[in-house]
Structure 1
Amino acid sequence: MTEAPPGSDGRLAAVLRDCGSAVIAVSGGVDSMSLSSFAHRTLGSDRIRMVHAVSPAVPTAATDRVRRQAIHEGWSLRLVDAGEFADERYRANPVDRCFFCKSNLYSALSRLSDGLVLSGTNTDDLGDYRPGLAAAEELGVRHPFVEAGFAKSDVRALARRLGLPDLAALPASPCLSSRVETGIRIEADTLQLIDDIETWLRDRLEPETVRCRLRPQGFFVELDAATLQALGSEGRVRLIRGARSRFPELAGRAFAVEAYRRGSAFVGDKQVVNG
């Protein structure tokens, strides 16, 4: 275990010590991974355990990342099925789908722990429409980054201080269900196709941001402005042809390439969403 440095890291360490024994819901993103690394180095495996939910909605790369970090740092890690795919309220993909996802996740984690459940939520998340936070409140989940006053930039800075530069630079990548337009039923095979398409595009183009959205008309790939500009109109045509050749599941469905728009798969009263 390490001694807490002064300043923000000291505040975070104090929050974690106040939590006592706890499990951390680690998704594979920069927030939960940084919290897990800091908590493990500060308190040790006797008091902090990590739990990662394996689900069709979780990108394969995220699960692989969690496994590697757990081995590298000696985390106490458990992989579980949170059970959200057995919940028809989640599968129906309503506006508040995340509430049902997080309710299932945090309930599963609570059954595994005699202590608290912790999340990687930071203060920037509080300004978004996040029904999952309501589920966390109902189940008594604590958010150490929020309690210590960490914004997203502070989390990335923490990752750098921990000697994890690749994690610090990791782009945001919400769950794969966030790619499916509100009201379209969540299906495991659809999420697998979305993950496969995004992985193929990352390997091919190395974009800063890529999302493969499912809308009633079909699949729409969204890319950051720089990648889209470098691609050009001819490049878009080649990319679409390549995707149709690579993924026969696209046959008979629309497939297009366009500019990234944050949360564009969300259709509802709230207009500020992650994704």
Structure 2
Amino acid sequence: MSDVEARLSAVLDRYDSLAIAVSGGVDSMTLATIAHRRNRGRIAVIHAVSPAVPPAATLRVRARALREGWDLSVTGAGEFEDERYRANPADRCYFCKTNLYARIRALTRWRIASGANTGDLGDYRPGLLAAAERDIVHPFIEAGIDKPEVRVLARRFGLDEVAELPAQPCLASRVETGIAIDADDLAFVDRVETALARLAPANATLRCRVTHKGIVVELGADAAPMAPLLHDAARALCDAASRPFLGVQDYRKGAMFVRG
């Protein structure tokens, strides 16, 4: 057993039972897989669906649940019922997580856990405040595990389909602060990103951004060589949806976050 795995195991052993919120990304999928294999029968997995969750993520969770034999519950995230979330303020994530954890709490009395890792602590994360207010635990953070170490664990436990996934925050993160969150916008974002991902290198970083002026596509260095092709494909998708296309830019983390 590696040092990283040993640290995580020691943390997991502190809890008699856990209900793990699983989004479909590498962090929460890895945590749920390891926790379930170690503490089978004392781990529940909760996946929340909403317009902000890519359908591919839900399919990924369901497939892994079948493979691992998870006790999986799927619920609505509930955030679209909250006008504070839909207004898309700088602390939108606070309202998102507030609603999410309320939905999960309605399903279980077990301690709720998230897949947050130590790399999440350096950013402005209103969702972590919502978690702290609701006594949510973060086993990776307790074990001092960062994103690269999570990926190592994912490979170690056979999660090849998620181990190298780029960071994938919810689709609402593609919408510039102050633009109301709209389900049609999020469906368009997912449609563009899914189409472009078929043309780009596997697991390349790319974002379809909804800005006040129009649509921007951002590409990570891994997708940059395909920029002309991706530019033309994105323009065609925007033209078909009657949305102004502003072009392709370099990827910038949190580019749509405008803090007043």
Tell me which interval the TM-score lies in, with the shorter structure as reference length. over 0.9
Give the letter for the 2:170 counterpart. C
Q: After TM superposition, list the pairs within 5 Å mapping 1:213-228 onto structure 2.
A: 213-228=209-224
Q: After TM superposition, list the pairs within 5 Å mapping 1:42-53 onto structure 2.
A: 42-44=38-40, 46-53=41-48
Aligned to 1:95, which of 58, 66, 90?
90
Tell me, what secondary structure is at the counterpart of 2:109?
coil
The alpha-carbon deviation at position 184 of structure 1 amounts to 0.3
- Which residue matches 1:39? 35
Contact 2:31-2:115 at 8 Å conserved across structures: yes
Contact 1:218-1:254 at 8 Å conserved across structures: yes
- Which residue matches 1:193? 188
The alpha-carbon deviation at position 106 of structure 1 amounts to 1.0
Q: Does 1:263 align with 2:254?
A: yes
Query: Within 2, Cα distance between the matches of 1:34 and 1:236?
Result: 31
Rg (Cα) greater in structure: 1
Distance 1:244-1:141 versus aligned 2 partners, 3 A rule: closer
Aligned to 2:63, which of 57, 60, 68?
68
Contact 2:192-2:234 at 8 Å conserved across structures: no
Task: Tell me the matched-pair count.
Answer: 259
Query: Within 1, Cα distance between the matches of 2:152 and 2:252?
Result: 26
The alpha-carbon deviation at position 15 of structure 1 amounts to 1.6
The alpha-carbon deviation at position 176 of structure 1 amounts to 0.2
Contact 2:219-2:227 at 8 Å conserved across structures: no
Q: After TM superposition, list the pairs within 5 Å mapping 1:64-213 onto structure 2.
A: 64-206=59-201, 208-213=204-209
Give the letter for the 1:256 counterpart. G
Give the letter for the 1:260 counterpart. Y
Q: After TM superposition, list the pairs within 5 Å mapping 1:9-24 onto structure 2.
A: 9-24=5-20
Query: Within 1, Cα distance between the matches of 2:100 and 2:81?
Result: 12
The alpha-carbon deviation at position 108 of structure 1 amounts to 1.2
> What RMSD in Å do the two structures reach over aligned CA positions?
1.6
TM-score (norm 1): 0.89
Query: Within 2, Cα distance between the matches of 1:173 and 1:140?
Result: 25
Contact 1:219-1:254 at 8 Å conserved across structures: yes
The alpha-carbon deviation at position 171 of structure 1 amounts to 1.1
* Deviation sequence 1:145-197 (CA, Å, 0-9, x none): 11111111111111111122332111111100000000000011110010001
TM-score (norm 2): 0.94
Tell me, what secondary structure is at the counterpart of 1:204?
coil
Query: Within 2, Cα distance between the matches of 1:153 and 1:66?
Result: 21
Query: Within 2, Cα distance between the matches of 1:60 and 1:237?
Result: 24
Identity of paired residues, percent? 51
| More displaced stretch, 108-117 vs 31-40 | 108-117
Give the letter for the 2:237 counterpart. A
Query: Within 2, Cα distance between the matches of 1:256 and 1:213?
Result: 10
Tell me, what secondary structure is at the counterpart of 2:14?
helix
Query: Within 2, Cα distance between the matches of 1:257 and 1:28?
Result: 27
Query: Within 1, Cα distance between the matches of 2:115 and 2:190?
Result: 23
Structure 2 unaligned segments of length 5 or more: list them.
none
Distance 1:75-1:267 versus aligned 2 partners, 3 A rule: same
Query: Within 1, Cα distance between the matches of 2:93 and 2:235?
Result: 34
Tell me, what secondary structure is at the counterpart of 1:178?
helix
Structure 1 unaligned segments of length 5 or more: list them.
270-275
Give the letter for the 2:248 counterpart. V
The alpha-carbon deviation at position 261 of structure 1 amounts to 1.2
